Protein backbone atom coordinates (compact mmCIF):
# COMPACT_ATOMS: atom_id res chain seq x y z
CA UNK A 1 0.00 0.00 0.00
CA UNK A 2 2.76 2.50 0.83
CA UNK A 3 4.11 2.51 -2.73
CA UNK A 4 0.67 3.24 -4.15
CA UNK A 5 0.04 5.86 -1.49
CA UNK A 6 2.93 7.92 -2.89
CA UNK A 7 0.99 8.49 -6.10
CA UNK A 8 -1.42 11.40 -5.87
CA UNK A 9 -3.64 9.81 -8.52
CA UNK A 10 -4.26 6.67 -6.46
CA UNK A 11 -5.65 6.09 -3.01
CA UNK A 12 -5.53 2.91 -0.96
CA UNK A 13 -8.72 2.22 0.97
CA UNK A 14 -8.42 -0.40 3.70
CA UNK A 15 -11.56 -2.50 3.18
CA UNK A 16 -12.96 -3.24 6.67
CA UNK A 17 -9.41 -2.52 7.87
CA UNK A 18 -6.59 -5.00 7.24
CA UNK A 19 -9.31 -7.63 6.98
CA UNK A 20 -7.11 -10.24 5.31
CA UNK A 21 -5.01 -10.40 8.47
CA UNK A 22 -7.31 -9.61 11.42
CA UNK A 23 -11.07 -9.92 11.95
CA UNK A 24 -12.85 -7.28 9.89
CA UNK A 25 -13.86 -3.93 11.39
CA UNK A 26 -11.98 -4.46 14.64
CA UNK A 27 -9.75 -1.70 15.97
CA UNK A 28 -6.69 -4.00 15.67
CA UNK A 29 -7.55 -4.46 11.97
CA UNK A 30 -7.78 -0.69 11.57
CA UNK A 31 -4.48 -0.17 13.39
CA UNK A 32 -2.73 -2.66 11.12
CA UNK A 33 -4.22 -1.03 8.01
CA UNK A 34 -3.04 2.36 9.26
CA UNK A 35 0.45 1.01 9.91
CA UNK A 36 0.56 -0.62 6.45
CA UNK A 37 0.16 2.79 4.86
CA UNK A 38 -3.52 3.00 3.85
CA UNK A 39 -4.76 6.42 2.79
CA UNK A 40 -8.28 5.74 4.09
CA UNK A 41 -9.81 3.18 6.43
CA UNK A 42 -13.38 2.09 5.78
CA UNK A 43 -16.31 1.91 8.20
CA UNK A 44 -19.59 0.12 7.50
CA UNK A 45 -22.13 1.75 9.80
CA UNK A 46 -25.27 0.18 11.28
CA UNK A 47 -27.65 1.46 13.99
CA UNK A 48 -28.59 -0.25 17.24
CA UNK A 49 -31.96 -0.47 18.99
CA UNK A 50 -31.02 2.52 21.14
CA UNK A 51 -29.92 4.64 18.15
CA UNK A 52 -26.17 4.16 18.55
CA UNK A 53 -23.89 3.83 15.52
CA UNK A 54 -21.66 0.76 15.36
CA UNK A 55 -19.05 -0.34 12.84
CA UNK A 56 -19.95 -3.73 11.37
CA UNK A 57 -20.37 -4.96 7.82
CA UNK A 58 -23.73 -6.72 8.11
CA UNK A 59 -27.03 -5.48 9.48
CA UNK A 60 -27.05 -8.85 11.24
CA UNK A 61 -24.68 -10.16 13.90
CA UNK A 62 -24.42 -13.92 13.52
CA UNK A 63 -21.73 -14.13 10.80
CA UNK A 64 -19.02 -12.49 12.91
CA UNK A 65 -20.09 -12.77 16.57
CA UNK A 66 -21.23 -15.20 19.25
CA UNK A 67 -24.69 -13.62 19.40
CA UNK A 68 -26.45 -16.99 18.93
CA UNK A 69 -24.81 -18.33 22.08
CA UNK A 70 -25.12 -15.15 24.14
CA UNK A 71 -28.70 -14.27 23.16
CA UNK A 72 -30.52 -17.42 21.99
CA UNK A 73 -34.10 -16.75 21.01
CA UNK A 74 -33.45 -13.16 19.91
CA UNK A 75 -33.41 -13.90 16.17
CA UNK A 76 -36.18 -12.82 13.83
CA UNK A 77 -38.40 -15.23 11.91
CA UNK A 78 -35.66 -15.66 9.28
CA UNK A 79 -33.28 -16.98 11.94
CA UNK A 80 -31.00 -13.96 11.78
CA UNK A 81 -29.97 -11.68 14.65
CA UNK A 82 -30.40 -8.05 13.61
CA UNK A 83 -28.18 -5.39 15.18
CA UNK A 84 -31.17 -3.06 15.26
CA UNK A 85 -32.89 -5.39 17.76
CA UNK A 86 -30.04 -5.10 20.30
CA UNK A 87 -28.85 -2.26 22.50
CA UNK A 88 -25.29 -0.99 22.31
CA UNK A 89 -24.55 -2.49 25.73
CA UNK A 90 -25.70 -5.91 24.52
CA UNK A 91 -23.66 -5.63 21.32
CA UNK A 92 -20.53 -4.55 23.19
CA UNK A 93 -20.84 -7.73 25.29
CA UNK A 94 -20.38 -9.90 22.18
CA UNK A 95 -17.09 -11.37 21.04
CA UNK A 96 -16.22 -10.64 17.41
CA UNK A 97 -14.38 -13.12 15.21
CA UNK A 98 -13.41 -13.87 11.65
CA UNK A 99 -16.47 -14.48 9.48
CA UNK A 100 -17.84 -18.01 9.67
CA UNK A 101 -20.72 -20.23 8.64
CA UNK A 102 -22.22 -23.17 10.52
CA UNK A 103 -21.59 -26.65 9.12
CA UNK A 104 -22.80 -29.71 11.05
CA UNK A 105 -23.06 -27.62 14.19
CA UNK A 106 -19.47 -26.37 13.91
CA UNK A 107 -18.17 -22.90 13.03
CA UNK A 108 -16.25 -23.06 9.76
CA UNK A 109 -14.20 -20.07 8.63
CA UNK A 110 -15.36 -18.47 5.38
CA UNK A 111 -11.69 -17.81 4.58
CA UNK A 112 -9.52 -20.64 6.02
CA UNK A 113 -6.23 -18.81 5.43
CA UNK A 114 -7.26 -15.77 7.49
CA UNK A 115 -7.13 -15.24 11.25
CA UNK A 116 -8.58 -18.34 12.99
CA UNK A 117 -12.20 -18.26 14.16
CA UNK A 118 -12.76 -17.86 17.90
CA UNK A 119 -9.16 -17.08 18.81
CA UNK A 120 -7.98 -14.13 20.91
CA UNK A 121 -10.43 -11.34 21.82
CA UNK A 122 -12.04 -8.78 19.53
CA UNK A 123 -15.00 -6.43 20.04
CA UNK A 124 -17.44 -4.32 18.07
CA UNK A 125 -17.01 -0.56 18.54
CA UNK A 126 -18.89 2.62 17.72
CA UNK A 127 -18.34 4.99 14.80
CA UNK A 128 -17.27 7.73 17.23
CA UNK A 129 -14.68 5.42 18.81
CA UNK A 130 -13.20 4.59 15.41
CA UNK A 131 -13.06 8.22 14.32
CA UNK A 132 -11.27 9.07 17.58
CA UNK A 133 -8.92 6.13 16.95
CA UNK A 134 -7.96 7.33 13.45
CA UNK A 135 -7.72 10.97 14.50
CA UNK A 136 -5.63 9.94 17.48
CA UNK A 137 -3.21 8.05 15.24
CA UNK A 138 -3.06 11.06 12.92
CA UNK A 139 -1.99 13.18 15.89
CA UNK A 140 0.58 10.70 17.18
CA UNK A 141 2.11 9.89 13.78
CA UNK A 142 1.74 13.21 11.96
CA UNK A 143 -0.02 11.51 9.06
CA UNK A 144 -3.41 12.49 7.64
CA UNK A 145 -5.30 9.25 7.05
CA UNK A 146 -8.95 9.61 6.08
CA UNK A 147 -12.15 7.75 6.89
CA UNK A 148 -14.57 6.14 4.42
CA UNK A 149 -17.94 5.40 6.08
CA UNK A 150 -20.71 3.49 4.32
CA UNK A 151 -24.37 4.13 5.07
CA UNK A 152 -25.38 0.46 5.36
CA UNK A 153 -28.83 -0.52 4.08
CA UNK A 154 -30.38 2.92 4.67
CA UNK A 155 -33.76 1.82 3.26
CA UNK A 156 -33.95 -1.00 5.80
CA UNK A 157 -33.14 1.40 8.62
CA UNK A 158 -35.71 3.96 7.47
CA UNK A 159 -38.37 1.24 7.30
CA UNK A 160 -37.48 0.41 10.92
CA UNK A 161 -37.85 4.06 11.92
CA UNK A 162 -34.12 4.86 12.02
CA UNK A 163 -32.54 7.64 9.92
CA UNK A 164 -29.06 6.17 9.61
CA UNK A 165 -27.84 8.62 6.97
CA UNK A 166 -28.72 11.68 9.04
CA UNK A 167 -27.16 10.14 12.15
CA UNK A 168 -23.86 9.32 10.42
CA UNK A 169 -23.57 12.77 8.84
CA UNK A 170 -24.31 14.36 12.22
CA UNK A 171 -21.44 12.44 13.85
CA UNK A 172 -19.09 13.34 11.00
CA UNK A 173 -19.93 17.03 11.50
CA UNK A 174 -19.30 16.69 15.26
CA UNK A 175 -15.81 15.38 14.52
CA UNK A 176 -14.93 18.20 12.13
CA UNK A 177 -15.74 16.68 8.74
CA UNK A 178 -17.70 19.46 7.03
CA UNK A 179 -16.32 20.12 3.54
CA UNK A 180 -15.17 18.31 0.42
CA UNK A 181 -11.50 19.00 1.14
CA UNK A 182 -11.74 17.03 4.41
CA UNK A 183 -10.36 13.48 4.38
CA UNK A 184 -13.67 11.64 4.18
CA UNK A 185 -15.78 9.92 1.54
CA UNK A 186 -19.35 8.88 2.40
CA UNK A 187 -20.59 5.89 0.40
CA UNK A 188 -23.80 3.94 -0.11
CA UNK A 189 -25.24 1.41 -2.54
CA UNK A 190 -28.71 2.99 -2.46
CA UNK A 191 -29.05 5.77 -5.02
CA UNK A 192 -32.13 7.23 -3.34
CA UNK A 193 -30.11 7.73 -0.14
CA UNK A 194 -27.23 9.27 -2.11
CA UNK A 195 -29.63 11.84 -3.56
CA UNK A 196 -31.21 12.45 -0.15
CA UNK A 197 -27.81 13.09 1.44
CA UNK A 198 -26.89 15.48 -1.37
CA UNK A 199 -30.19 17.35 -1.65
CA UNK A 200 -31.57 17.29 1.90
CA UNK A 201 -29.38 15.94 4.70
CA UNK A 202 -26.08 17.71 4.05
CA UNK A 203 -27.68 21.11 3.31
CA UNK A 204 -29.74 20.80 6.51
CA UNK A 205 -26.56 20.15 8.51
CA UNK A 206 -24.58 22.86 6.73
CA UNK A 207 -21.93 20.45 5.44
CA UNK A 208 -20.78 19.37 1.98
CA UNK A 209 -18.81 16.12 1.89
CA UNK A 210 -17.58 13.91 -0.94
CA UNK A 211 -20.16 11.23 -1.82
CA UNK A 212 -19.51 7.89 -3.53
CA UNK A 213 -22.11 5.79 -5.33
CA UNK A 214 -21.28 2.13 -4.72
CA UNK A 215 -22.04 -0.07 -7.71
CA UNK A 216 -22.65 -3.77 -8.03
CA UNK A 217 -23.42 -5.75 -11.15
CA UNK A 218 -26.62 -7.61 -11.82
CA UNK A 219 -30.06 -6.97 -13.13
CA UNK A 220 -31.62 -3.62 -12.37
CA UNK A 221 -28.29 -1.79 -12.12
CA UNK A 222 -27.39 -1.62 -15.81
CA UNK A 223 -28.63 1.96 -16.10
CA UNK A 224 -25.97 3.13 -13.66
CA UNK A 225 -23.05 2.19 -15.90
CA UNK A 226 -24.53 3.65 -19.10
CA UNK A 227 -23.46 7.04 -20.41
CA UNK A 228 -26.73 8.60 -19.24
CA UNK A 229 -26.54 6.79 -15.89
CA UNK A 230 -23.03 8.04 -15.15
CA UNK A 231 -24.11 11.56 -16.07
CA UNK A 232 -27.01 11.33 -13.60
CA UNK A 233 -24.87 9.86 -10.80
CA UNK A 234 -22.36 12.69 -11.27
CA UNK A 235 -25.06 15.21 -10.33
CA UNK A 236 -24.93 13.80 -6.80
CA UNK A 237 -21.64 11.92 -6.37
CA UNK A 238 -17.95 12.78 -6.46
CA UNK A 239 -17.01 9.21 -7.23
CA UNK A 240 -18.20 5.68 -7.93
CA UNK A 241 -17.18 2.48 -6.16
CA UNK A 242 -17.71 -0.43 -8.58
CA UNK A 243 -17.10 -4.10 -7.92
CA UNK A 244 -13.84 -4.73 -9.78
CA UNK A 245 -15.36 -7.16 -12.31
CA UNK A 246 -17.46 -4.25 -13.59
CA UNK A 247 -14.18 -2.77 -14.88
CA UNK A 248 -12.23 -5.88 -15.91
CA UNK A 249 -14.42 -8.89 -16.67
CA UNK A 250 -13.66 -12.01 -14.65
CA UNK A 251 -13.29 -14.02 -17.86
CA UNK A 252 -10.25 -11.92 -18.81
CA UNK A 253 -6.95 -13.70 -19.35
CA UNK A 254 -3.37 -12.39 -19.40
CA UNK A 255 -3.00 -10.52 -22.68
CA UNK A 256 -6.75 -10.63 -23.27
CA UNK A 257 -8.37 -8.15 -20.91
CA UNK A 258 -12.07 -7.42 -21.32
CA UNK A 259 -12.30 -3.84 -20.08
CA UNK A 260 -15.56 -1.89 -19.82
CA UNK A 261 -16.17 1.82 -20.42
CA UNK A 262 -16.96 2.43 -16.74
CA UNK A 263 -13.74 4.24 -15.80
CA UNK A 264 -13.78 6.33 -18.97
CA UNK A 265 -17.41 7.35 -18.40
CA UNK A 266 -16.81 8.17 -14.73
CA UNK A 267 -13.76 10.31 -15.49
CA UNK A 268 -15.60 12.04 -18.32
CA UNK A 269 -18.19 13.09 -15.76
CA UNK A 270 -15.59 14.34 -13.28
CA UNK A 271 -15.84 11.42 -10.86
CA UNK A 272 -13.15 9.38 -9.14
CA UNK A 273 -13.25 5.58 -9.34
CA UNK A 274 -12.56 3.46 -6.25
CA UNK A 275 -13.11 -0.22 -7.17
CA UNK A 276 -13.48 -3.00 -4.60
CA UNK A 277 -12.13 -5.46 -3.37
CA UNK A 278 -8.57 -6.56 -4.11
CA UNK A 279 -7.58 -9.54 -1.95
CA UNK A 280 -5.53 -12.72 -1.90
CA UNK A 281 -8.29 -15.17 -1.00
CA UNK A 282 -8.61 -17.96 -3.62
CA UNK A 283 -11.23 -17.25 -6.27
CA UNK A 284 -11.64 -13.61 -5.23
Q: Residue 6: what pLDDT?
A: 43
As a whole number of angstroms, the distance between CA 117 and CA 97 comes to 6
Q: Residue 281: what pLDDT?
A: 85
- The pTM of this model reads 0.95
Active site (catalytic) residues:
15, 57
Q: Residue 7: what pLDDT?
A: 42
Are residues 210 and 186 in contact, defined by beta-carbon separation less than 8 angstroms? yes
Q: Residue 222: what pLDDT?
A: 85
As a whole number of angstroms, the distance between CA 71 and CA 93 comes to 10
As a whole number of angstroms, the distance between CA 71 and CA 257 comes to 49
User: pLDDT below 50 — which residues of the chain?
Assistant: 1-7
Nearest to 17 by CA among 4, 1, 30: 30
As a whole number of angstroms, the distance between CA 271 and CA 284 comes to 26
Q: Residue 284: what pLDDT?
A: 67
Q: Residue 217: what pLDDT?
A: 81
Q: Residue 218: what pLDDT?
A: 78
Total count of residues recorded for the chain: 284
Show Cβ contacts of residue 42 under 8 Å, excluding neighbours closer than 6 positions: 13, 14, 15, 16, 17, 147, 148, 149, 150
Q: Which residues of 223-244 are buried (b: 16+ CB within 10 A; e: fewer)?
A: ebbeeebbebbbeebbbbbbee
CA-based diameter of the chain, in Å? 54
Dihedral sign, Cα of residue 23, residue 25, residue 27, residue 30: positive
As a whole number of angstroms, the distance between CA 74 and CA 65 comes to 14
Mean of per-residue pLDDT scores for the chain: 95
Nearest to 143 by CA among 41, 241, 43: 41
User: Where on the phi/psi map is residue 218: left (φ > 0), alpha (ψ -120 to 50), or beta?
Assistant: left
Amino acid sequence: PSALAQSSSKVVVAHRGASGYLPEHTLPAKAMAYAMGADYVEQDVVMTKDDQLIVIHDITLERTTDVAEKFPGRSRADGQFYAIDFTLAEILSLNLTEGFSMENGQKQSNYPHRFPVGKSIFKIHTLAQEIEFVQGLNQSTGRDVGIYPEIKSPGFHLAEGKDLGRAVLTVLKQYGYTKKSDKVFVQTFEFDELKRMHDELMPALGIDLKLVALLEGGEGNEWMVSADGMKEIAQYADGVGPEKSMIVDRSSKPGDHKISDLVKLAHANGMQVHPYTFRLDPGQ
